[in-house]
Amino acid sequence: MHPAHARVLLEGPPGPDGTPLRVPVTRVALTDGSTFDRYTTAGPGSDPEVGLPPLRTPWLDARGDTAPYEGRATRLRDDGPAAVRRGEVRTQWRGERRAPRRALPGRRPTQLHLARQGVVTTEMAYAAAREGCDPELVRSEVAAGRAIVPANVNHPELEPMVIGRRFLVKVNANIGNSAVTSSVAEEVEKLTWAVTWGADTVMDLSTGDDIHTTREWVVRNSPVPIGTVPLYQALEKVGGDAAALSWEVYRDTVVEQCEQGVDYMTVHAGVLLEHVPLTADRVTGIVSRGGSIMAGWCLAHHEQNFLHTHFDELCELLAAYDVSFSLGDGLRPGSVADANDAAQLAELRTLADLTVRAWEHDVQVMVEGPGHVPLDLVEENVRLQQEWCHGAPFYTLGPLATDVAPGYDHITSAIGAASIAMHGTAMLCYVTPKEHLGLPDRDDVKTGVVTYKLCAHAADVAKGHPRAREWDDALSRARFEFRWHDQFALSLDPVTAQALHDETLPAEAAKTAHFCSMCGPRFCSMRISHDVRERFAGMQEKSREFVDLGGTVYVDPR
């Protein structure tokens, strides 16, 4: 953490026991003695071996609509290959073993159900305090389906947050090992690193060995909602043969992940058998992993997608744990040539139907979006999604505004991301410089998160979010007043800002100098601008004297 930054807990609205919730911010100490508070995602910090404290357990106990039960993992012995070996479920805190929870019979422990009943949950109140908005705004937006508070009852470590177009634009970071590289400990470190730089949610997209164990470690150490794509683990369970997938294997995987505490799941239920021919003439076919797996399954069996045929059953399952849907766009365009084509829009129509069906089961929903989209077609994507899906939060991957710059796709996609967020996308999935080329390492994760935080913030400013521009103004004032240390401390990435400044002018004296190495002292526009302002103030003084003296020109009679 930067020396001028501190995690501070502000007093929020009362929690279930009547004592005030304590809601975190990053407090930036400025050199003039004032402070500036920023939204924070970093969490209280954890010992990976122990996990984070279970903040929400008393809230869940007080609500009383869930109860512990003998989870699937304790019933089953290790029943898979190394790739899916379950290990011990580490749902414990300071040695106390914790059984998974689920809904009591006849109860609906989802934020959507409660919001519809008029209940402001502790999670909603907490999220509202972070946003600095009325808790009733969170409740009403969740009730209308226009926002979600992803919060699995088995993820007590979570610091709840809200995703919706009326709130701050959020950023997701993908982590996860692949068959080719990386380890469990590395993934936990990537998680911690991602939230340090501002990731609002993290998706664990592991596909190689130890999927279960990796996820367990990730969830226990995560202060932010965790998303997954259960299909990846299901495929590992059937030895990688898409044709061997079945509803039963998939269902078992979903239960396993619900019990672990995954907060939202990408489900590719919108890829229908009849959509596959629509992709035949595309430049880049199907580029979503989940989409291509399900399309392969549909063709192999010549049957309808089992995620679609079993969708109601899946809804009931997710409702029992308050897991949110992230309806996957399996047919998203993978090149600007394929943007907004028949395949993409046919799937979006299906996702709109599924949104309404999930809502009937009180399950929270967000809808995923592209991908690769030329800048002139970006707005149409969010407009159609918001219209067709009745305002359900949109969650897009970029989109990339051009295909020609591999190695810079965090930037090609930042262009599309800022634009689509300004037009109403609620959450942006980051893209790193390694996109299309390899698996992101620690530096790539940071670059991706910081890039997307600046997109999200640019969109918040453009949307006129009540508190967004305060941050820009605080930093710009520090810049104009040559408070270099404050300028660094207020930066999205203080470390990089200071390092780039210090490359040329490392001396401490340069931190208060009225110039930098860009222009040197003689040409510093800001310094000259101060001189101009002083001169102008002098002119104003003279002008006031003139008016005070009667406003007439005194002519010496001699």
Query: For residues 364-423, which are near a second copy according to CB under 8 A?
Result: 372, 374-376, 401-408, 410-412, 414-415, 418-419, 422
Told to check if 487 binds a second copy by CB under 8 A, we report yes
Told to check if 284 binds a second copy by CB under 8 A, we report yes
Tell me, residue by residue from 427 to 466, as one string, x for binding to a second copy by CB under 8 A and - for no binding.
Answer: ------xxxxxxx-x--------xx-xxx-xxx-xxxx--
Only segment of 249-257, 306-314, 511-519, 545-553 that touches a second copy (CB under 8 A): 511-519
Told to check if 56 binds a second copy by CB under 8 A, we report no
Nearer to a second copy, 177 or 324 (CB): 177
Pairing between β-strand 66-68 and β-strand 101-103 as defined by DSSP bridges: antiparallel
- Write out the binding residues for a second copy, residues 244-283 only, by CB under 8 A: 276-277, 279-280, 283
User: Please, are residues 176 and 153 in contact by the beta-carbon 8 Å criterion?
Assistant: no
Q: Which of 134, 303, 525, 544 binds a second copy (CB under 8 A)?
A: 525
Question: Could you give phi then psi for residue 130, rounded to 5 degrees?
Answer: -65, -40
Only segment of 51-59, 85-93, 139-147, 520-528 that touches a second copy (CB under 8 A): 520-528
Nearer to a second copy, 50 or 299 (CB): 299
Alpha-carbon distance 128 to 133, whole Å?
5
Give me the helix-helix angle, 247-260 and 211-220, nearest 10°. Answer: 30
Residue 461 CB, nearest approach to a second copy (Å): 5
> What is the DSSP-derived secondary structure letter of residue 367?
E
Residue 468 CB, nearest approach to a second copy (Å): 9
Residue 182 CB, nearest approach to a second copy (Å): 9
Residue 248 CB, nearest approach to a second copy (Å): 21
Q: Which of 183, 312, 517, 546 binds a second copy (CB under 8 A)?
A: 517
Tell me, residue by residue from 154 to 183, as one string, x for binding to a second copy by CB under 8 A and - for no binding.
Answer: ------------------------xxxx--
Nearer to a second copy, 50 or 411 (CB): 411
Residue 387 CB, nearest approach to a second copy (Å): 21
Distances (CA, A) of 183 to 85, 177, 206, 209, 494: 15, 7, 10, 9, 29
Q: Please tell me whether the peptide bond between 371 and the residue prior to it is cis, using omega within 30 degrees of 0.
A: yes
Only segment of 88-96, 131-139, 260-268, 517-525 that touches a second copy (CB under 8 A): 517-525
Query: Which of helix, strand or coil describes residue 22?
Result: strand
Alpha-carbon distance 342 to 333, whole Å?
10
User: Please, are residues 311 and 250 in contact by the beta-carbon 8 Å criterion?
Assistant: no
Residue 77 CB, nearest approach to a second copy (Å): 25
Told to check if 467 binds a second copy by CB under 8 A, we report no
Told to check if 475 binds a second copy by CB under 8 A, we report yes
Question: Could you give phi then psi for residue 396, rounded to 5 degrees?
Answer: -110, 155
DSSP H/E element including 191: helix 184-196
**Residue found under tokens 């209308």:** 144
Told to check if 520 binds a second copy by CB under 8 A, we report yes
Only segment of 219-227, 259-267, 317-325, 470-478 that touches a second copy (CB under 8 A): 470-478
Alpha-carbon distance 110 to 102, whole Å?
11
Count of residues in contact with a second copy, rule CB under 8 A: 115
Tell me, residue by residue from 292 to 321, as one string, x for binding to a second copy by CB under 8 A and - for no binding.
Answer: xx-xx--xx---------------------
Residue 484 CB, nearest approach to a second copy (Å): 9
Residue 124 CB, nearest approach to a second copy (Å): 28
Residue 81 CB, nearest approach to a second copy (Å): 13
Among 369, 426, 378, which Cα is nearest to 402's?
378
Nearer to a second copy, 67 or 375 (CB): 375
Nearer to a second copy, 149 or 455 (CB): 455
- Write out the binding residues for a second copy, residues 194-233 only, by CB under 8 A: 207-208, 232
Distances (CA, A) of 132 to 127, 223, 413: 9, 19, 29
Q: Please tell me whether the peptide bond between 399 and the residue prior to it is cis, using omega within 30 degrees of 0.
A: yes
Told to check if 152 binds a second copy by CB under 8 A, we report no
Q: Which of 11, 32, 521, 541 binds a second copy (CB under 8 A)?
A: 521
Nearer to a second copy, 21 or 414 (CB): 414
DSSP H/E element including 141: helix 135-143
Nearer to a second copy, 137 or 461 (CB): 461
CB burial readout 176-210, b (16+ within 10 A) else e: bbeeeebebebbbbbbbbbbbbbbbbbbbbbbbbb
User: Please, are residues 258 and 267 in contact by the beta-carbon 8 Å criterion?
Assistant: no
Told to check if 80 binds a second copy by CB under 8 A, we report no
Residue 558 CB, nearest approach to a second copy (Å): 25
Nearer to a second copy, 50 or 492 (CB): 492
Told to check if 532 binds a second copy by CB under 8 A, we report yes
Structure tokens at 382: 């969010």
User: Count of CB atoms within 10 A of residue 453's CB?
Assistant: 23
Tell me, residue by residue from 316 to 355, as one string, x for binding to a second copy by CB under 8 A and - for no binding.
Answer: ------------------xxxx------------------
Told to check if 7 binds a second copy by CB under 8 A, we report no
Q: What is the DSSP string of 471-509?
A: HHHHHHHHHHTT-HHHHHHHSSSHHHHHHHHHHH--SGG
Alpha-carbon distance 397 to 371, whole Å?
5
Nearer to a second copy, 246 or 335 (CB): 335
Q: What is the DSSP string of 400-440?
A: BS-SS-TT-HHHHHHHHHHHHHHTT--EEE---TTTTTS--
